[in-house]
Amino acid sequence: MKTLADLLAEGVAGRRVLVRADLNVPLDGSVITDDGRVRASLPTLRQLTEAGARVLVAAHLGRPKGEPDPKFSLAPVAARLGELLGAEVALAADVTGPSAKSTVDGLTDGRVALLENVRFEARETSKDETERAAFAAELAALLGADGAYVSDGFGVVHRKQASVYDVAKLLPHYAGGLVLAEVEVLRKLTTDTARPYVVVLGGSKVSDKLGVISNLLAKVDRLLIGGGMAYTFLKAQGHEVGESLLQEDQLDTVRGFLKEAAERGVELVLPVDVATAERFPDFGADSQPAPVVVPVDGIPAGRMGLDIGPDTERLFADKLADAQTVFWNGPMGVFEVAEYASGTRSVAKALVGSSAFTVVGGGDSAAAVRLLGLPEDGFSHISTGGGASLEFLEGKELPGVSVLED
């Protein structure tokens, strides 16, 4: 696999370089609420611009339906990227059309431009390889004869999409620093892992993590389960869960996980108490439903669990205390609301205080670290790609990585 260092050694001054970045940031209207992914893209962009490249960035935002939608425009991202780079970042009004062509033609050495949301183009995510290839050819044509492609958006490498996979087959291709760092870290979680190896999983649905649980049961020493997905496990053990999030169609699968963990000697740790409320919080409200902590065998009908309780916080901290490797993906509760953020904060603080190799698996977990004001350098690594991280740990091939190995 060729890397950014290889491309820089070849020389990029005056050349057009397409960088696929992951700039899929959360927005409140047109305001970026967490610019972590934008900041993560800076090292690769700076190395290229400092070497005199003419950098064209491709990225997506949200889930537009294959056509332009103003609410998913990358305009706020272009503005923030320009602030961080200290130079204006031009934004094309389309993806490969007249505006994109004129924007690229206007690039000078050491400057950066951004294409509009690549998912405004339906062929980007098409299942038809011919359609994707045609769109990829249009992207490649923007660069000219000596163009190059750098994959630096780890959050999308698990997708076989035109700007991630197909364009790499048409151009000299290189792994950016972010992708290299992510893959190196995740390989530490799958080969020669220091033990005890503990995985903490949260988030809303068990179904989102079936593959990773199945694969990790053969690899970990302990598996700690919190968040909304914990209630399906608790129900599988025979507990009543009131109005808590429950996936009844996954109960048999979860019972199988409990049985397999016991057979393999994996310690599968579930909450012993939870913070409950009568209704789900309204994120925009001035007041929130008051939490009432109850043991997991005493969740009342009509109440829902929204966070792990203080006894579980202490239990999880104890189970993390001797860990040498920890992977955490998914919040323990509704961390966006202060009344139900304690469990997520306690897990994060336990990792910050640990001497283990600690990896935060992107997504809501990474957002929670920043929202709760915890030091990012307190973790060994914070991934930029939750879905990609989980698929890697499931043992799946990541198309956007495998295509770079040709």
Tell me the per-residue pLDDT of 148-168, one tens digit each, with 9 for 90 and over. 999 999 999 999 999 999 999
Both structure tokens of 246: 């429950």
| Same domain flag for 34 and 118 | yes
Q: Residue 55 — pLDDT band, cuts 50, 70, 90?
A: very high
Q: Residue 346 — pLDDT band, cuts 50, 70, 90?
A: very high
Q: What local confidence, expressed as pLDDT, does residue 386 receive?
A: 81
- Residue tagged active-site, from 343, 363, 385, 400: 363
Q: What is the mean pLDDT of residues 297-319?
A: 97
- Residue tagged active-site, from 37, 123, 319, 345: 37
| Same domain flag for 168 and 195 | no
b/e map 258-283, b = 16+ CB within 10 Å: eeebeeeebebbbbebbbbbeeebee
Active site residue 106: no
- Which residues contribute to the annotated binding site for (2R)-3-phosphoglycerate? 37, 119, 159
Both structure tokens of 194: 């220091």
Q: Which residues contact 243 (CB under 8 A, 6 or more apart)?
A: 301, 302, 303, 304
Residue where a domain terminates, one of 156, 177, 198: 177
Domain membership of residue 404 (yes or no) is no
Q: What local confidence, expressed as pLDDT, does residue 395 receive?
A: 86
DSSP annotation string for 76-89:
HHHHHHHHHHTS--
Indicate if the pLDDT at residue 363 is higher than 80.
no
Using alpha carbons only, what angle is made at residue 309 by residues 203 and 270, rounded to the nearest 5 degrees? 60
Residue where a domain terminates, one of 177, 205, 240: 177
Domain membership of residue 359 (yes or no) is yes
- Residue tagged active-site, from 255, 387, 395, 396: 387
CA 342 to chain centre: 22
Domain membership of residue 287 (yes or no) is yes
Q: What local confidence, expressed as pLDDT, does residue 371 receive?
A: 86
| Same domain flag for 266 and 352 | yes
Q: What local confidence, expressed as pLDDT, does residue 87 receive?
A: 97
Domain membership of residue 40 (yes or no) is yes
Active site residue 395: no
| Same domain flag for 190 and 334 | yes
| Same domain flag for 162 and 191 | no
Domain membership of residue 403 (yes or no) is no
Indicate if the pLDDT at residue 398 is higher than 90.
yes
**How far apart are alpha carbons 174 and 148 in whole angstroms?**
8
| Same domain flag for 104 and 53 | yes
Domain membership of residue 406 (yes or no) is no
Q: What local confidence, expressed as pLDDT, does residue 273 receive?
A: 98
Q: What is the mean pLDDT of residues 68-91?
A: 97
| Same domain flag for 90 and 218 | no
| Same domain flag for 351 and 253 | yes
Both structure tokens of 172: 């000299």
Q: Across the beta sheet with 112-114, what order do the strands follow?
A: 90-91, 112-114, 54-58, 16-20, 148-151, 173-175
- 358 has which bridge partners? 326
- Which residues contribute to the annotated binding site for ATP? 209, 305, 336, 362-365
Domain count, the chain: 2
- Which residues contribute to the annotated binding site? 22-24, 37, 60-63, 119, 159, 209, 305, 336, 362-365
Q: What local confidence, expressed as pLDDT, does residue 387 receive?
A: 85
Lowest mean pLDDT among 247-251, 332-336, 372-376: 372-376
| Same domain flag for 262 and 165 | no
| Same domain flag for 160 and 206 | no
| Same domain flag for 351 and 316 | yes
- Which residues contribute to the annotated binding site for substrate? 22-24, 37, 60-63, 119, 159
Q: Residue 393 — pLDDT band, cuts 50, 70, 90?
A: confident
Active site residue 363: yes
Q: What local confidence, expressed as pLDDT, does residue 284 receive?
A: 75
Residue where a domain terminates, one of 159, 177, 195: 177
pLDDT, tens digit, 9 for 90 and up, residues 16-38:
999 999 999 999 899 998 898 99
Active site residue 37: yes
Domain membership of residue 78 (yes or no) is yes
Indicate if the pLDDT at residue 283 is higher than 90.
no
Domain membership of residue 402 (yes or no) is no
CATH number at residue 173: 3.40.50.1260
Q: What is the mean pLDDT of residues 4-13?
A: 98
| Same domain flag for 169 and 190 | no
Q: What local confidence, expressed as pLDDT, does residue 161 receive?
A: 98
Q: Give me the domain span that covers residue 298.
A: 185-394
Q: In angstroms, how far is the first alpha carbon of the chain from the final one?
A: 7
Q: Choose the most confident range, by mean pLDDT, from 119-133, 189-203, 204-218, 285-299.
A: 119-133
